[in-house]
């Protein structure tokens, strides 16, 4: 197999996932994405004829044929065909692999089985995707961009199975899934004349999300400042508090520095004094009541 040492671009590919990040499965409706990326890849590495037979050009000449390639260098052809087959198997799930796997299959055999497998399921997949599109809700996503991307993905997948989704319908689906927080801006989008494009509607929602987040951040900062101030005045009626700390030490020191109504602590008991006491255990009338301890004779 000495001829296989001849350099070919396909031999330089070490990890197919770097070029085809999509993993084809039975449920995701990503066949068209996967097939498009795969065809780009094999064309770039000069092995397209391993999955698609050569066709006639505009001049009536055929592209390099599989038969010619096999005749010129059969060992290299077989070697490259196995590599392309590995690329196919390496970018599909186990369920799909077990469906198309067949002993001694060529790369073209595997490719054609995938074409037949996914084209045969177009109707059922379209029904499933239509249901998913009708159930998309903003509350199911952490932020607006993810919500909009989900709508776009489902619409694109419907187009891939022969059920194109018009841009206007994407916008209406986007508006119908909004929650009460965004319902006002949703009405503005719906009533715009002409109707906003899906891209413009998404941008409007993203800006509204940023505005709401900035407003919430300012309100929180203001509440935190007010809460800190009222906490320093020992006002516990405010509902917004910074992290709670033990304020007993601060409270006693405050009354030590001021005359008038004293306040002290003795053996864990808090009490009030009057007159010139300073809130310690020995000041004026603010001193702590003495506990009587009688020892047994």
CB 49 within 8 A of CB 62: no
Residue 132 has pLDDT above 90, yes or no: yes
Most confident residue range from 120-124, 237-241, 267-271: 120-124
Lowest mean pLDDT among 82-91, 125-134, 136-145: 125-134
Mean pLDDT of the chain: 75
Q: What is the pLDDT of residues 49-69, one digit of tens each?
A: 999 988 743 334 444 444 454
3-class SS string, 72-131: HCHHHHHHHHHHHHHHHHCCECHHHHHHHCCCCCCHHHHHHHHHHHHHHCHHHHHHHHHH
**Cβ(32)–Cβ(160) under 8 Å?**
yes
Cis geometry, peptide bond prior to residue 153 (ω within 30 degrees of 0): no
pLDDT tens figures, 15-55: 888 899 989 987 666 788 899 999 999 999 999 999 998 87
pLDDT tens digits for range 148-159: 999 998 998 888
pLDDT at 198: 96
């Amino acid at each position: 197999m000495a001829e296989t040492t001849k350099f070919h671009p396909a031999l330089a590919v070490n990890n197919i996932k770097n070029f085809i990040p999509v993993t084809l499965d039975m449920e995701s409706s990503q066949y068209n994405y996967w097939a498009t990326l795969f065809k780009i890849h094999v064309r770039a590495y000069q092995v397209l004829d391993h999955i698609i037979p050569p066709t006639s050009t505009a001049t009536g000449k055929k592209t390099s044929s599989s038969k010619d390639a096999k005749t010129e260098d059969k060992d290299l052809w077989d070697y490259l065909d196995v590599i392309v087959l590995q690329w196919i198997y390496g970018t599909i799930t186990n369920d799909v692999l077990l469906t198309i796997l067949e002993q001694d299959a060529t790369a073209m055999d595997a490719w054609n089985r995938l074409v037949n497998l996914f084209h045969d399921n177009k109707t059922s997949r379209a029904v499933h995707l239509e249901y998913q599109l009708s159930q998309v809700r903003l509350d199911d996503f952490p932020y607006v961009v993810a919500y909009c991307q989900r709508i776009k993905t489902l619409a694109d997948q419907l187009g891939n199975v022969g059920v194109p989704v018009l841009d206007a319908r994407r916008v209406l689906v986007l508006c119908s899934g909004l929650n009460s927080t965004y319902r006002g801006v949703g009405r503005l989008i719906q009533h715009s004349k002409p109707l906003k494009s899906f891209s413009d509607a998404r941008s409007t929602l993203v800006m509204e999300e940023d505005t709401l987040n900035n407003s919430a951040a300012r309100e929180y900062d203001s509440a935190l400042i007010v809460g800190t101030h009222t906490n320093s005045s020992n006002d516990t009626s405010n509902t917004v508090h910074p992290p709670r700390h033990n304020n007993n030490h601060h409270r006693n020191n405050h009354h030590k520095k001021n005359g008038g109504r004293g306040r002290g602590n003795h053996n864990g008991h808090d009490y009030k004094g009057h007159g010139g006491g300073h809130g310690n255990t020995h000041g004026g009338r603010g001193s702590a009541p003495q506990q009587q301890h009688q020892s047994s004779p």
